[in-house]
Amino acid sequence: MRSEKPINILDIKFCAYNQYQVLNVIGANIESGRKALILSGNIQSFNLCYKNEWLKTLFNQADVVRIDGEGLRLGARMLGYELPERMTWADFAWDLAKLCSERDYSIYLLGGRIGVAEKAAHKLKARNPDLRIVGKSHGFFDKTPGSSENNAVIQEIYAAAPDILIVGFGMPIQEKWIYDNWDDIHAKVIMTGGAVFEYVSGEVPRAPQWMTDNGLEWLGRFLIEPRRLWKRYLIGNPLFFWRILKQRLRFTSSG
């Protein structure tokens, strides 16, 4: 499902769906049985696409690039686009679980440290008792295509046959795993989840609400996990906006 006029940010073309539309795409693909890919769009993913051609190809082929960061919205605004509200997984996971509970869609949770997906599943089920979680597994296995551990995970997903598979390995490992195993993944909708299970389970705290409500969640995340995220935000964010400015200059000179 694509809009007729996708927007273009750093040579990635995608449709600017709001949350209601994203959930509709998920439901439509599950009902039709058509396999769909939904990726997370934020500064980190667009920076990675800029230097990885395979990843850019994957993003351009995705059914939906979900608006997963305030920085992407700001970058789009600099190019003259207006994106809908962001859908960070820490919030979106609960809306997705509600949809699945109401429509009896099944979910498989793949990723995170040992035991984290199980904790996330418990939290999601506590709020949505009818939610069908047909599988949950950590992300610490040999992801090499053809390895015995990778094959075992693929077979487990095949046996569970989930309507939705959420892959939370972090970028770009989760995207590469999907890219390498696409033909063998037996799920109707495949979504990248990043650290979704850590946030849903409560293993990693969120920034204060005043930050999340005012486009500063990235700063809150950085303050909570500075050693892991300093490069992503202190180097990655300025680099993204520099690239946006260069694209804007190209638009101006060609227009």
- Judged against a pLDDT cut of 90, whether residue 84 lies above it is answered with yes
What's the confidence (pLDDT) of residue 137? 96
What's the confidence (pLDDT) of residue 255? 59
Residue 200 · residue 123 · CB < 8 Å:
yes
Residue pointed to by tokens 């979704």 = 196
What's the confidence (pLDDT) of residue 3? 43
What's the confidence (pLDDT) of residue 254? 66
Cβ-based neighbour number of residue 9 at 10 Å: 24
What is the tens place of the pLDDT at every residue in 62-75? 999 999 989 999 99
DSSP 10-31: TTEEE----HHHHHHHHHHHHH
Helix, strand or coil for residue 68?
coil
What's the confidence (pLDDT) of residue 1? 39
Residue 15 · residue 2 · CB < 8 Å:
yes
Confidence of residue 2 (pLDDT cuts 50, 70, 90): very low
Percent of the chain with pLDDT over 90: 82
Q: How does the average pLDDT of the chain come out, rounded?
A: 93
What's the confidence (pLDDT) of residue 205? 82
Average pLDDT over residues 98-107: 98
